[in-house]
């Protein structure tokens, strides 16, 4: 059996990460789950949270996801995320700006659909800020 699992994280915009890792921890709807080589096949919805990949026994990457789906096989873990942002690529001021922009969009919404979309953006922005703060 291999000592790594192939991890792929895909957002609507791009392939965010494709790399062999020792383990990946995913924020599942029913709780976080870790994926190691040889994991039993499964599918799961994921909640907003942080995916952590492990290399060399330590956390290698931390990536905020805004929900989505995960598929696990014995050799691979694939996550299709609604949005994915590497935490080392964003800081608190950027997260604060996203919150401010979403609040402004709620205030200036011209109809219920626009307001609901802005409210959804606010929830994601607040989750991102929480993840950035650690």
Q: Which pLDDT value is given to residue 106?
A: 92
pTM above 0.85, yes or no: yes
Shared domain check, 81 and 36: yes
* Domain span at 122: 91-133
Shared domain check, 25 and 80: yes
Q: Which pLDDT value is given to residue 127?
A: 92
- The count of residues in the chain is 134
Provide the token pair at 129: 């800020």
C-alpha–C-alpha distance, residues 19 and 38, integer Å: 16
Give the residue ranges of DSSP H helices in the chain: 92-107, 112-133
Shared domain check, 78 and 34: yes
Q: Which pLDDT value is given to residue 77?
A: 97
Q: Which pLDDT value is given to residue 122?
A: 93
Beta bridge pairs of residue 72 = 42, 77
Shared domain check, 114 and 71: no
Shared domain check, 129 and 97: yes
Pairing of strands 31-35, 15-21: unpaired
The residues near 132 (Cβ < 8 Å, ≥ 6 apart) are 64, 87, 90, 91, 92, 95
Q: What is the pLDDT along the chain (134 residues), one digit of tens a residue?
A: 579 999 999 999 999 999 999 999 999 999 999 999 999 999 999 999 999 999 999 999 999 999 999 999 999 999 999 999 999 998 899 999 999 999 999 999 999 999 999 999 999 999 999 998 87
Q: Which pLDDT value is given to residue 38?
A: 93
Number of independent structural domains in the chain: 2
Q: Which pLDDT value is given to residue 134?
A: 76
Could you tell me the sign of the dihedral formed by the alpha carbons of 12, 133, 48, 118, in that order?
Answer: negative
Closest CA to 102 of 92, 117, 113: 117
């Amino acid at each position: 059996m291999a000592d790594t699992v192939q991890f792929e994280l895909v957002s609507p915009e791009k392939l965010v990460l494709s790399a062999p890792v020792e383990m990946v921890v995913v924020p599942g709807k029913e709780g976080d789950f870790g994926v190691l080589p040889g994991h039993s096949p499964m599918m799961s919805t994921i909640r907003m949270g942080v995916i952590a990949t492990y290399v060399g026994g330590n956390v290698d990457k931390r990536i905020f996801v805004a929900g989505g789906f995960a598929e696990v096989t014995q050799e691979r873990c694939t996550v299709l995320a609604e949005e994915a942002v590497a935490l080392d690529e964003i800081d608190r001021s950027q997260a604060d700006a996203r919150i401010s922009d979403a609040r402004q969009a709620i205030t200036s919404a011209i109809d219920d659909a626009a307001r609901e979309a802005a409210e959804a953006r606010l929830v994601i922005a607040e989750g991102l800020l929480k993840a950035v703060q650690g």
